[in-house]
Amino acid sequence: MQSGFYDRTLWLIRLRWIAIMGLFTFPAFIGYFFTLEINLFPIYACAVFILVYNILLFKYVHYVSKKYKDIENKITVIDNIQISLDLIMLTLILHSSGGIENPFIFYIIFHIIISGILLPRMQAIMQTTLAMILINAMILAEYAGIIKHWPIGNYLKIPLYNNGLYAASVSFIFITTLYISLYMASSISMNLKDREKRLEAINKTLEEKDKIKSEYVLRVTHDIKGHIAAIQSCIHPVRAGITGVLNDKQSNLLGRADDRTEKLMAFTKSLLNLTIMKLNSNVEKKVFDIAEAVKKSVNFVKPNSAAKNIDLKIVYSGQAMAIEASESEIQAVLIELLSNAIRYTPERGVVTLALAQKNRNVVVEISDSGIGIPANEIEKVFAEFYRATNALKLENNTGGSGLGLSMVKQAVERAGGNISIISTEGKGTKITVEIPICLKPGSNEKLPIIS
């Protein structure tokens, strides 16, 4: 919500830059091409004043956003000040360029709509009343001859500012239009703000429920892991023949039980790691050389690639590339992606890991000559427990959990990076991970590698 107030205020300040450029160019353009005599000096003077206070507002809004945590009240005061200043400046500009005869007089409605969006209703009504007072004071003062009327030369053959009926009509239409516009804008804005608050409350409730669910899964998964480890501790000695010699049927049954238990343990560990990652939002980061993490990950999966006679290629220039992230998470990401590539690549296939720097990112590309992913399933593979249909056919051989890529995506995003997949079913897959390279503040120089 805090960033919402800040963004809306900056939005109005950005709109004012456009208005300032228009004030410096549009009156001269109109005067030149339509041969109208326009008093440019007061318009340019107002434009300079608007430029000055817009710069000051821009700097002050940034100052407030950094210094104070609760900025809603301060931002509301700033919004009131800048809208009031705009209304005063717009009235002066209108007065110096035809007053009530200037067809752009109704542009004030835009500020009323902005007031209805940015401000509480009572404050927006006050701003609308200010606009009504300013414009009507100008109309009455020019009509009564209290202030000088500055006509737009050659625009009207007959002056209208001193026509009582015309002035009264424009004043009535102007006032009613202002308040109707305010009512419509503020009503829509209030409905949107109420909906935003309701959605925020619902989202907070969902986050709390998701946290409770994750904590429950964490406890249950941890208990299951302990039970599986206990079962394995019983199976392994029996298979090793410590309790006696097994016949072929007994050995076969125990082997199948041991294989299933190993897969169940791998699934439990993946679920446990993913749940811990979801619950642990404050991960400890440090600066390290991603090339070292790549080397460790490749060494970890080499036995798996060798067992399938897969050609595991590494493409790397040797350049040091420092990133700031959780080293254990990034290494887990690389191991998971390499393991998947090897798992779903047939024997004597090829898996390639390429490490390079692109602009200000470290880019890791892992490609394989495996089974690929169906085109309509590529976007789904990052979902928890999802497995591609062609991968399910290999389930007995691969033992995938459907959790690995979900964990990978979360870890990459926690490092400030992104991940993408290009795949063709039956031909292979390429997964690209991009993580910002760690630079010294204010420079393009890479940080020294921390060993």
Give the number of other CB atoms < 10 A from CB of residue 175: 16
Residues of the chain with pLDDT under 50: 1, 397-398, 440-451
pLDDT of residue 451: 32
Chain mean pLDDT for the chain: 82
pLDDT of residue 128: 93
Q: Which two structure tokens, joined as six digits, stand for 430?
A: 């390429």
Going from the C-alpha of 188 to that of each of 118, 139, 315, the distances in angstroms are 11, 31, 57
> What global pTM score does this model have?
0.53
Q: Which residues pair with 439 in a beta bridge?
A: 446
CATH class of residue range 286-436? alpha beta
Dihedral, 387, 390, 395, 401 alpha carbons, nearest 10: -10
pLDDT of residue 442: 42
CB 147 within 8 A of CB 103: no
Which of these, 43, 20, 48, lies nearest to 31 by C-alpha position?
A: 43
Residue with tokens 């516009």: 181
Q: Which residues pair with 354 in a beta bridge?
A: 315, 365
Please spell the DSSP secondary structure of 157-199, one letter per residue: SS--TT-HHHHHHHHHHHHHHHHHHHHHHHHHHHHHHHHHHHH
Q: Using one digit for the tens of pLDDT, what is the confidence trace for 217-228?
A: 667 776 777 778
pLDDT of residue 202: 87
Q: Where are the domains of the chain?
A: 2-162, 286-436
Q: How far apart are CA 385 and CA 271, in angstroms?
A: 9
Please spell the DSSP secondary structure of 256-321, one letter per residue: HHHHHHHHHHHHHHHHHHHHHHHH--S---EEEEHHHHHHHHHHHHHHHHHHTT-EEEEEE-----
Q: How far apart are CA 384 and CA 406, in angstroms?
A: 6
Side by side, the strands of the sheet bearing 350-358 are 311-316, 350-358, 361-368, 428-436, 418-424
pLDDT of residue 269: 67
Q: Give the containing element (helix H, strand E) for 432.
A: strand 428-436
pLDDT of residue 63: 86
Q: How far apart are CA 215 and CA 221, in angstroms?
A: 10
Q: How far apart are CA 254 and CA 246, in angstroms?
A: 10
For 426, counting Cβ atoms within 10 Å of its Cβ (0-12 exposed, 13-18 middle, 19+ buried), the class is: exposed
Q: What is the three-class DSSP state of 93? A: helix
